[in-house]
Structure 1
Amino acid sequence: MAYKIVPDLCNGCGACESECPSRAISHVEKLYTIDPGKCVECQGSYDSPMCAQLCNTDACVPA
């Protein structure tokens, strides 16, 4: 299951983008989005999804 970013909660800080090992996170119109086709939930790189850990607004959630 991929993660997604809830637009209403995202504050556009960008903390998630640089840590994404699969480069699934992109910046679109002041907000960030996760491409579900690229998201691997950080498997093989981290113990848990870094986007969710780094998000200061809890906008990164399982899709």
Structure 2
Amino acid sequence: MKVRIDPERCQGHGRCYDLTPGLFTEDDEGYGQVVRDGVVPPGEERAARLAASNCPERAIDMSEEA
């Protein structure tokens, strides 16, 4: 699984990096960013889905590619 954040939709609420700091971080202005290349480590799929479902703008896109 791979995650990405759409910068056009992200409003900087910070729920992604508060819920899953191993997958997401924030930039200098508080907007979410994906850590590393966005590949979700084995066993972290549930956390990625939790972050995506808690994003008010639905800015987190998930794909099954790795």
Listed one character per residue, the Cα deviations across residues 13-52 of structure 1 (whole Å, up to 9, x for unaligned) are: 10111211x6121111321111235633833xx3761121
Q: Percent identity?
A: 18
Equivalence map 1:32-47=2 (5 Å): 32-35=32-35, 36-37=37-38, 39-40=40-41, 42-43=44-45, 46=46
Uncovered stretches (5+) of structure 1, i.e. residues with no partner: none
Q: How far, CA to CA, are the matches of 1:52 and 1:60 in structure 2?
A: 5
Q: 1:23 aligned to 2:25?
A: no
Cα pair 1:42 1:50 within 8 Å, conserved: no
TM-score if structure 2 supplies the norm length? Answer: 0.70
Cα pair 2:15 2:55 within 8 Å, conserved: yes
